[in-house]
Amino acid sequence: MTRNLRVGGAQMGPIQKAENRDAVVARMVKLMDRALAEGCDLIVYPELTLTTFFPRWYAEDEAEFDLWFEREMPSAATRPLFERAKTAGIGMCLGYAELAEEEDGEVHRYNTSILVDKAGRIAGKYRKVHLPGHAEFDPERKWQHLEKRYFEPGNLGFPVWRSLGGNLGMCICNDRRWPETYRVMGLQDVELVMLGYNTPTGNALSDEESPELRMFHNHMSMQAGAYQNGTWVVGVAKCGDEDGHELMAGSVIVSPDGVIVAQAETMGDELIVADCDLDKCRFNKETIFDFAAHRRPEHYRLIVERIGAEPPEGGE
């Protein structure tokens, strides 16, 4: 049996600080048109698709940094994208900075992605759990990474939705490096994980880490997550030189065997496409990673009981 989902990964080139959302959305629509010409069922855009990667800029004033956030989705700027998707009947996943007024009456800020189904409905929302970086200006770094300043950790967990004929999940950028991310979705029988990333080509704290090593870590994390949970993973970059700060490219679609089946070749707007047969997840899920048969959660307690590593007591 096959349950094929033709997926387009819409890698985006750089977005400068001064660029406005309308210009970005026009680029997104162009990539969507390419995906439609290729017969895609679903298009996946990067993390914080609509703006430059603003956590590299330090701001004190809320009025200044709130300009990076969306108060509603679709927003005025993204409406043409939603309309094009609905008319054409293509699903999409996109990341954005969300300013939400929640039940506590307070304003909260999240690094968010949504899944929109082919009928144009928001079928799922995910808020980034693993926020890297720091909250205050850090003079030790060659550039800032202020996600902990601008966002709260997501409060929605790692849900999986039945949508587009499969079990679909999302995570965002740094989440892809954590095995817990994939396993929590794996335990909900996830078949396709969609994720976007903005990852600097270099390490702000070390010149030792080469771009090649960083790309290896990028792909290895997604390939391991795919294999160990028997799921497709679609990882999509925003890349290139944003106001003098380079972000890596390397967008990929990874099969449930952990094999890269499509990979971007440029540092700009580029569509990668793969036929993702969701039934291909079954073999892995029903043999080597048959969780019901082989997992031993009684030995995994530390994973939820402890956060930081502690060495064993005693010894020399």
| Residue ranges that bind ligand CDT, judged by CB under 6 A | 47, 132-133, 145, 173-174, 177, 197-199
- With beta carbons less than 8 A apart as the criterion, state whether 25 and 45 touch: no
Query: Looking at beta carbons only, is 37 or 220 nearer to ligand CDT?
Result: 220
Least distance in Å: CB of 199 to ligand CDT? 3
Query: Looking at beta carbons only, is 125 or 128 nearer to ligand CDT?
Result: 128
| Structure-block tokens of residue 64 | 């200044």
| Given 40, 47, 191, 276, the catalytic residue | 47
Active site residue 106: no
d(CA 62, CA 99): 12
Least distance in Å: CB of 252 to ligand CDT? 14
| Given 70, 93, 98, 128, the catalytic residue | 128
Query: Looking at beta carbons only, is 136 or 310 nearer to ligand CDT?
Result: 136
Query: Looking at beta carbons only, is 173 or 193 nearer to ligand CDT?
Result: 173
Least distance in Å: CB of 80 to ligand CDT? 26
Active site residue 148: no
Active site residue 173: yes
Least distance in Å: CB of 40 to ligand CDT? 25
Query: Looking at beta carbons only, is 134 or 295 nearer to ligand CDT?
Result: 134
Least distance in Å: CB of 209 to ligand CDT? 10
| Given 40, 171, 173, 276, the catalytic residue | 173
* Residues tagged active-site: 47, 128, 173
